[in-house]
Chain A
Amino acid sequence: MSAQAVAARITRPRLGATFRVVLLAALALGLTVALLGGSAGDVLNAGLVAATFRYATPIVFAALGGILSERSGIVNIGLEGMMLGGAFFGLWGAYVTGSWPLGILLAVVAGGVLALAHAAASVTLRANQIVSGLAVNLLAVGLTGFLFRTTFSDIGAPPGLQRIPDVRLESLPGPLAVMFDGQNLLVWVMFLLVPAVHFLLYRTVGGLRLRAVGESPGAAATAGISVTRIRYLAVVGSGMIAALGGCFLSLGFVGTFTENMTAGRGFIALAAVIFGGWTPRGAFLAALLFGGSTALAQRLQLTAGISADLLSIAPYALTLIALVGLVGRHRAPRALGQPYPPSA
């Protein structure tokens, strides 16, 4: 690859993800209309959009985290575990302190600590990044289950929990009110975080360094950038953002914690990162698509009477279709998965 191409790659976000998301969304909607015929309007309405935002939010958070980590060159299979950590510690923190902001804070710290374990193993000890990420997932499943059983075994769902508040926007006109009124605060945080991560990556020195480290760590190091430091920051930051997604699930959406409640959303988020071409905007759209498929499946189950088990497959199947059929020619960060320095 020429120096020019590398420069273009580092300085400019890509287009194309939008097109593919629209294409797949059209496919899903077309299928629904074909399935339901005249009653499709009962399912395809503003309420579906609102549900899409809710289901997409945890995936968007995790995907934004995944972008930070992967653009710095570290594969983060551990997103799932970091979300789970955020889900438990957010709920627990809010329960113990009686304050949801402290719950969110604890969730972010927990996600950061789990990510730190991943960073220590994969950056400093140069372990295989997939192995290290899987280990973090196992660790998180066991740890959160263990602590959940220890603290909440007798009460199930914690009583008197202060959940993250919903944002009331009743004055919005008609369908906009259905879409945006009563969405959780973290949904709005998610909406703001997408452009924020975009800005960080493409408009700040730190973002340029992060991408440079992910593309060519050797060159970045020659230019005086500490590859280790950037990668640690990126991975820990990625865990913190992913934890917000988990925290939304437990403390914002459901109001309780169940063992392994993330149910593969961290991996769907990784697929969203890839499908979205490693850009915040692309990943956001891809996550909306996956969230939308969950929302649609939920509604079809009620309207069309299709087996709930079969419809539960929809988001996973759509993730596969997206990965396989429409990945396009996006290239992963060049140094993704490679430890630095390359040999001991």
Chain B
Amino acid sequence: MTARTRAASGWRTDLLVAIPAPALIVIVAGGLVLVTLGIAALAIAITGHDPVQALLGIGKGMGIGAFLPGVEGRERTSAVRNLQQVLIFATPLLLTAVATALPLRAGLFNIGAQGQYLFGAYAAIAVGTADLGSLGPFHAVLATLAACAAGAAFAGAAVMLRTLSGANEVIVTIMFNWIAIFLGKWALATGGPLHGDDPDLPRSFEVLESARLPAIWGNLQAVHAGIFVALAVVLLFGWLMSRTSLGFRLRAVGANPFAARVAGMPIRRTLLVAFALGGACAGLAGAMDLLGWRGQLTASELEIISGVGIVGIAVALLGAGRPLGIVLATLLFAGLQVGTSSRNIDPTVLPSELAGNLATMLQGVIVLAVAGSAFLLPRLQAQRAAALATREAVARAAQTPEEAIA
């Protein structure tokens, strides 16, 4: 028996060959979900809470009930409100995911969506709280554009450091995040340029009514028009990457910068464009949050609200940098985040400060598992194909010449 035929025998190979190719994908994906849920259940059980109740509680906090029949009355009202929260949180997340995914297609990691989001938020606050006369709805447009420009400039500065000096872009963008946070704390403190009128609170003014985004669904904490902007940007991102020459250039530089340079593509300029576009998206995320939802910035919450820039990295990776993937991954992570927030989860089922950390932990597990299976799945598929081919060859060799001719 040769090594090759040995490789094609054994229970593991039998199993692999018995599974149809499409089912293999489903099984690996299902395995990921099971592993993630298993770890979640284990962590919850350790703390002495009921895992099933807690996971159902998180699902309830996501507003899944809004899609189920038989959920009526107050239950329904609260489910709808939870769902609205998910969409509000999904808005910036879609955008920070694109902010990571776009430069990644050009081969660079933008870990700086957090800082770019904050710069967008600062610009949106600066313009949105300023009385600019009778601009009408253009006030919101102006504030949004300022935020995009701020995010793009901040990201562009980071990548310039990379392309001009060879400094590692991951570390550069992470340092930029911290700098953005502390700059914001300084700007919002008493005497700072963004500080409002309360001398005791490091807080900005409220965004003026003319700069607010229109609400489209719900009252109190309504889903705002930003969700359409975010979805449009995701679609635009897909179109840019697959249908334009700029997208082709980005992909070419990402796939093989040396080949791209030989083909006459300007590497540095392409990377700058990729980062500037990504930064603009992250800045836009800040603007949508501020103009559509929060309306005000407080120094103490900067780190927490800009966490959406970090989650965006996980979304971009889980969504494989593709528009549909990003939308689905955003819904999952926004749901996780909202479902575990103090407003939404029943504290008797699982205290929210535990649940919030659980969500972060699960994001790590999911990214790790997806990153690992990105290698595992193709290898399993290749092994399956090889085993099939070997078995066929063995079977043919076992035939007598007469059978083979017949």
B142 touches A (CB below 8 Å): no
Contacting residues, chain A, for B175 (C-beta < 8 A): 264, 267-268, 271, 316-317, 319-320, 323
In whole angstroms, how far apart are the Cα atoms of A141 and B356 in the complex? 11
Shortest Cβ distance from residue A265 to the other chain B in the assembled complex, whole angstroms: 11
Contacting residues, chain A, for B354 (C-beta < 8 A): 146, 149-150
Contacting residues, chain B, for A268 (C-beta < 8 A): 175
Residue-wise interface mask of A (246-278) relative to B, using a CB-CB cutoff of 8 A (1 in contact, 0 not) = 000000000000010001100110110010000
Interface residues of A in 304-322 (CB under 8 A from B): 307, 309-310, 312-313, 316-317, 319-320
Q: Decide yes or no: A316 and B170 within 8 Å by CB, A325-B165, A327-B165 being known contacts.
A: no
Q: Which listed segment binds A: B147-155, B239-247, B373-381?
A: B373-381
* Pick from A121, A141, A312, A317: contact of B360, CB under 8 Å: A141
A139 touches B182 (CB 8 A): no
B325 touches A (CB below 8 Å): no
* Pick from B174, B368, B375, B376: contact of A264, CB under 8 Å: B174
Contacting residues, chain A, for B317 (C-beta < 8 A): 131
B382 touches A309 (CB 8 A): no
A323 touches B167 (CB 8 A): yes
Contacting residues, chain A, for B313 (C-beta < 8 A): 134
B372 touches A142 (CB 8 A): no
Q: Decide yes or no: A138 and B353 within 8 Å by CB, A307-B189, A310-B186 being known contacts.
A: no
A121 touches B46 (CB 8 A): no
* Pick from B166, B351, B364: contact of A327, CB under 8 Å: B166
Q: Decide yes or no: A127 and B372 within 8 Å by CB, A139-B365, A146-B354, A271-B175 being known contacts.
A: yes
Shortest Cβ distance from residue A275 to the other chain B in the assembled complex, whole angstroms: 10
B364 touches A138 (CB 8 A): yes
Interface residues of A in 103-120 (CB under 8 A from B): 117, 120
In whole angstroms, how far apart are the Cα atoms of A307 and B193 in the complex? 13
Interface residues of B in 335-388 (CB under 8 A from A): 351, 353-354, 356-365, 367-368, 371-376, 378-379, 382
A228 touches B (CB below 8 Å): no
A136 touches B46 (CB 8 A): no
* Pick from B161, B174, B363: contact of A142, CB under 8 Å: B363
Residue of B170, B317, B372 with highest tally of chain A CB at under 10 A: B372
B88 touches A (CB below 8 Å): no
Q: Decide yes or no: A136 and B368 within 8 Å by CB, A310-B186, A313-B179, A320-B175 being known contacts.
A: yes
Contacting residues, chain B, for A153 (C-beta < 8 A): 351, 353
Shortest Cβ distance from residue B328 to the other chain A in the assembled complex, whole angstroms: 18
* Pick from A135, A263, A324: contact of B371, CB under 8 Å: A135
Shortest Cβ distance from residue B32 to the other chain A in the assembled complex, whole angstroms: 13
B364 touches A264 (CB 8 A): no
Contacting residues, chain A, for B362 (C-beta < 8 A): 142
B166 touches A138 (CB 8 A): no
Q: Decide yes or no: A143 and B353 within 8 Å by CB, A270-B171, A274-B171, A327-B166 being known contacts.
A: no
A24 touches B (CB below 8 Å): no
CB-nearest residue of chain A to B368: A135
**Number of A residues contacting the other chain (C-beta, 8 Å)?**
48
Q: Decide yes or no: A324 and B363 within 8 Å by CB, A128-B371, A150-B46 being known contacts.
A: no
Contacting residues, chain B, for A327 (C-beta < 8 A): 165-167
B364 touches A140 (CB 8 A): yes
Residue of B170, B183, B189, B360 with highest tally of chain A CB at under 10 A: B360
Contacting residues, chain A, for B171 (C-beta < 8 A): 267, 270-271, 274, 319, 323
Residue-wise interface mask of A (141-167) relative to B, using a CB-CB cutoff of 8 A (1 in contact, 0 not) = 111011001100100000000000000
In whole angstroms, how far apart are the Cα atoms of A187 and B19 in the complex? 57
Q: Decide yes or no: A142 and B367 within 8 Å by CB, A270-B171, A271-B171, A313-B179 being known contacts.
A: no
Q: Decide yes or no: A77 and B371 within 8 Å by CB, A139-B361, A146-B361, A327-B165 being known contacts.
A: no
CB-nearest residue of chain A to B173: A267
A198 touches B (CB below 8 Å): no
Shortest Cβ distance from residue A130 to the other chain B in the assembled complex, whole angstroms: 6
Shortest Cβ distance from residue B158 to the other chain A in the assembled complex, whole angstroms: 9
Contacting residues, chain B, for A5 (C-beta < 8 A): none
Shortest Cβ distance from residue A292 to the other chain B in the assembled complex, whole angstroms: 17
Contacting residues, chain A, for B89 (C-beta < 8 A): none
B222 touches A (CB below 8 Å): no
Q: Decide yes or no: A312 and B165 within 8 Å by CB, A126-B375, A141-B360 being known contacts.
A: no
Shortest Cβ distance from residue A339 to the other chain B in the assembled complex, whole angstroms: 8
B178 touches A264 (CB 8 A): yes
Contacting residues, chain A, for B183 (C-beta < 8 A): 309-310, 313
B364 touches A132 (CB 8 A): no
A192 touches B (CB below 8 Å): no
In whole angstroms, how far apart are the Cα atoms of A132 and B109 in the complex? 13
A309 touches B186 (CB 8 A): yes
In whole angstroms, how far apart are the Cα atoms of A209 and B166 in the complex? 28
Shortest Cβ distance from residue B315 to the other chain A in the assembled complex, whole angstroms: 12
In whole angstroms, how far apart are the Cα atoms of A139 and B365 in the complex? 6
Contacting residues, chain A, for B167 (C-beta < 8 A): 320, 323-324, 327
Contacts A136-B368, A264-B177, A270-B171 known; 13 new A-B pairs at CB < 8 A: A127-B368, A127-B371, A132-B371, A138-B361, A138-B364, A142-B359, A145-B356, A274-B168, A310-B182, A310-B183, A316-B178, A323-B168, A324-B165
Selected A-B contacts with CB under 8 Å, 21 pairs: A125-B375, A126-B375, A127-B372, A134-B314, A135-B367, A136-B368, A137-B364, A138-B314, A139-B364, A140-B364, A141-B364, A146-B43, A146-B47, A307-B186, A309-B189, A310-B186, A323-B167, A323-B171, A323-B172, A325-B165, A344-B378
Binding site for B on A (CB under 8 A): 77, 117, 120-121, 125-128, 130-132, 134-143, 145-146, 149-150, 153, 259, 263-264, 267-268, 270-271, 274, 307, 309-310, 312-313, 316-317, 319-320, 323-325, 327, 344
